[in-house]
Structure 1
């Protein structure tokens, strides 16, 4: 990176936490910043759910929040999967809150403190792709286990005329196979774009202050206002993307459980 310039893609670099790579049998097993923030997300989620394990007769705010989170996912599963969907609630819950916590941790303004910098694990396609293909794999396993070869009738919509049988099933199959890619890419693109915008406007603030003159402070002020606006939008996107990922997974599971 050139002196005085800010690289908006630098924040996505996966680097060893200890500053050097560790190899074992020819494989890099370094504990990276990505792994560190996954652990952070897991710990935060565990701490949050510990409030729901108190089972007090008169629940406190923490317990109410945890129980409300569980009820929210139960309702999502009940509405979108229907009968037989209760068993998938733990997975949908884990999926939704892991993505939500990972998104929120990624936008924490820790960079204002010296030596600290957050890492958004959901801004990496490897993470979002694993979540998407895991969901897709569960859908396939559930569909084949429950219906056997009848599962493939999912690609023949009810009422399809015979003269369109050469076209509709391949289109439905292609649409089905695209699902994991759309799931992973949607979350990845949304989080990456937001972080790049924040970094770019942050560089405008710094460069405006360093430029001096009459326009420098104006550019910095306008850029700071944009940072505030984009940050507020990012918080909304964090929740929406977690909800959409969990919702679509529920709908795909509905297709696997009930077919048409």
Structure 2
């Protein structure tokens, strides 16, 4: 019981100053540091991949071109013709989240997408952008969305507040989905890794029993790779859907 009590699955999400005295004075935690690293990795991937501009692309250039076409097709197919204008934003958002999710799987690293303040900030950027785009394209007609077409006017006092609350819940659901998936996966990895260490302390029989958590952790690592990519995709495609709705000029 004493060993089990020592498992601190949530300790990996704690923020603490980095870069020594400089980090303490600037209140610089590992979260913004890993955000900069994520941006640097994405930029390096694109720069190195597209530097050669070969007619017959190599592996890195092929990967960069596939990434570019994948997000571009996602934006245009979901938003429509106006998707080209939003493509740079969708591209940056997708790969920022993807890099953050995958960086956190490395030993001694930090998953900044496991903090609700980060995911909520990203969701609020999307939410506010969608509102401005909607007002720009639809004018005051944007507010008609809060009254379902064909609904009796007498039900407006009931339907309008419900529609407004539903609309305002978008950034909350968008941020919690990413945050919760990242936290849950990393907690499971920490717990089963701790089980392996605890069982190893039992001697020979512990080594045998400890094989099960190791196998589970390997499977969880594979699952986290899938979830990390899937959550970045879900965030990006929901962003596209909100922008597509904002770009509509008719109710």
Q: How does 1:1-260 map to 2 (within 5 A)?
A: 5-20=6-21, 29-50=26-47, 51-108=49-106, 110=107, 117-212=108-203, 214=205, 216-258=206-248, 260=251
How much has 1:171 moved relative to structure 2? 1.7
Q: Which structure 1 residue ranges, 5 or more long, are not aligned?
A: 111-116
* Cα distance in structure 2, aligned partners of 1:235 and 1:189: 15
For the 8 Å contact 2:71–2:91, the answer to whether it is kept is: yes
**Partner secondary structure for residue 146 of structure 1:** helix
Higher helix fraction: Structure 1 or Structure 2?
A: 2
State TM-score, norm by structure 1.
0.88
* Cα distance in structure 2, aligned partners of 1:30 and 1:3: 34
How much has 1:54 moved relative to structure 2? 3.7
Aligned match of 1:114:
none
How much has 1:22 moved relative to structure 2? 5.0
Which has the larger displacement, 200-209 or 66-75?
66-75
State TM-score, norm by structure 2.
0.91
* Cα distance in structure 2, aligned partners of 1:22 and 1:120: 19
* Cα distance in structure 2, aligned partners of 1:163 and 1:124: 43
* Cα distance in structure 2, aligned partners of 1:56 and 1:22: 43
For the 8 Å contact 2:3–2:198, the answer to whether it is kept is: no
Which has the larger displacement, 95-104 or 14-23?
14-23
How much has 1:3 moved relative to structure 2? 8.0
Runs of 4+ in 1 over 6 A off after TM superposition: none
How much has 1:33 moved relative to structure 2? 1.4
Q: Which structure 2 residue ranges, 5 or more long, are not aligned?
A: none
How much has 1:74 moved relative to structure 2? 1.3
For the 8 Å contact 2:116–2:176, the answer to whether it is kept is: yes
Q: Deviations over 1:166-222 (max 9, x none)?
A: 3332222111100000111110000001001000001100000113363x2343111
For the 8 Å contact 1:154–1:255, the answer to whether it is kept is: no
**Partner secondary structure for residue 167 of structure 1:** helix
